[in-house]
């Protein structure tokens, strides 16, 4: 009789535990379903109904899901929106698994709709890999975790099949020109068509790579469709010249300046890169090109366009402050 009572108590206790757990899981499933129905990702919340709903869902999920459940959602869930928001919550919790999860996602080419009302793109499609790396890099920089950032750099350098990741620009700009890296950088450029690899190739100063920079310079009219935030090959070639202002590029740079800088100045980073590439030579011919572009803009009588041009010029000068160009600001 005593044994029967113990068994009944055990069954009742187990049933209660299962019931409690099931109730929690139901609430979690409901929040996940509501989040999936929004079907859009925000880096930063804004004041609108859609974001209010997302905040409510994330608060619920954060209060209900265990670390292990969030990890499973971030890696295995079939809905890319759920994977992203689960990873965002893991970063917020500073769970140690965030690094491994991000590295598992660097080959995830699934796309989601992103809304960025604070940026230039507005609403656009982006890959899971790029979004995860963007969030990871921002978090690591905030924590000043150079060790994990170096680990990410290493994985991306040796993973040429990781595509559509904007952080490659920063990586290739800071990558030292060590001989052991060269073949991997070339693989990124020639096999995966990662134009940002040209920024690292330029610092090796190898004759066989000159043609690639020159080719992109001469194709300044060629604009290709790129994901939000990515720059045109022409802009990347200008950045590469700042790393390697070789005489080989002067002819192409002059030709591009007459058709681009004088004909239709574009008020974007490309303009700053162009001015920076000219200044990198620290030569009279480049000074003359910049001076003529300023004079032409002033003759047009558009004070706003002239001011924007001068702002870009100051930005380029601050990054490459050769005294020769200081008189341009008078």
Predicted confidence (pLDDT) at residue 5 exceeds the cutoff of 50: no
pLDDT for res 4: 46
Domain locations in the chain as residue ranges: 1-165, 181-330
Q: 225-241 pLDDT, tens per residue?
A: 888 889 999 999 999 99
**What CA–CA distance (Å, rounded) separates 74 from 83?**
4
Per the prediction, the chain carries an average pLDDT of 88
Q: Residue 279: name the closest of 236, 323, 215 by CA.
A: 323
Q: 283-307 pLDDT, tens per residue?
A: 999 999 999 989 988 888 778 888 8
Mean pLDDT of the region 238-252: 96
Which range is most confident: 155-164, 170-179, 254-263? 170-179
**What CA–CA distance (Å, rounded) separates 172 from 153?**
9
Cα angle for residues 165, 79, 118 (degrees, 5° grid): 50
Q: Residue 245: name the closest of 216, 209, 287, 203 by CA.
A: 203
pTM to 2 decimal places: 0.86
pLDDT cut 90: percent of the chain above it: 67
Asked if residues 329 and 312 have their Cβ atoms less than 8 Å apart, the reply is no
Positive or negative, the Cα torsion across 17, 18, 22, 28? Answer: positive
Query: CA torsion 156→161→165→167, rounded to 10°?
Result: 20
What is the enclosing helix (H) or strand (E) of 174?
helix 168-174
279-309 CB burial, b ≥16 within 10 A, e <16: bbbebeebbebbeebeeebeeeeeeeebebb
Mean pLDDT of the region 255-283: 82
């Amino acid at each position: 009789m005593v044994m029967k009572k113990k068994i009944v108590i055990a069954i009742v206790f187990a049933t209660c535990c299962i019931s409690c757990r099931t109730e929690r899981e139901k609430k979690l499933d409901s929040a996940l379903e509501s989040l999936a129905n929004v079907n859009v990702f925000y880096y930063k919340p804004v004041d609108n109904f859609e974001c209010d709903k997302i905040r409510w869902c994330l608060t619920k999920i954060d209060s209900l899901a265990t670390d292990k459940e969030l990890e499973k959602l971030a890696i295995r869930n079939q809905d890319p929106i759920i994977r992203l928001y689960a990873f965002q919550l893991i970063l917020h919790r500073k769970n140690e698994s965030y690094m491994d999860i991000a590295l598992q996602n660097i080959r995830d080419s699934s796309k989601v709709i992103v809304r960025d009302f604070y940026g230039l793109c507005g609403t656009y499609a982006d890959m899971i890999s790029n979004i995860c790396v963007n969030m990871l890099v921002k978090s690591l920089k905030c924590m000043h975790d150079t060790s994990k950032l170096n680990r990410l750099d290493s994985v991306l350098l040796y993973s040429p099949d990781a595509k559509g990741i904007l952080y490659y620009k920063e990586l290739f700009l800071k990558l030292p020109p060590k001989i052991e890296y060269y073949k991997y950088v070339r693989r990124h450029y020639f096999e995966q068509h990662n134009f940002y690899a040209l920024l690292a190739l330029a610092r090796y100063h190898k004759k066989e790579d000159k043609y690639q920079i020159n080719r992109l310079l001469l194709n300044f009219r060629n604009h290709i469709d790129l994901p939000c935030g990515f720059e045109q090959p022409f802009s990347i070639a200008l950045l590469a010249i700042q790393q390697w202002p070789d005489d080989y590029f002067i002819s192409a740079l002059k030709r591009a300046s007459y058709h681009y800088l004088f004909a239709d100045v574009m008020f974007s980073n490309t303009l700053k890169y162009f001015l920076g590439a000219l200044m990198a030579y620290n030569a009279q011919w480049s000074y003359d090109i910049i001076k003529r572009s300023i004079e032409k803009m002033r003759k047009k009588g558009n004070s706003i366009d002239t001011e924007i041009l001068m702002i870009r010029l100051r930005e380029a000068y601050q990054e490459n402050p050769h005294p020769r160009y200081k008189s341009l600001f008078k």
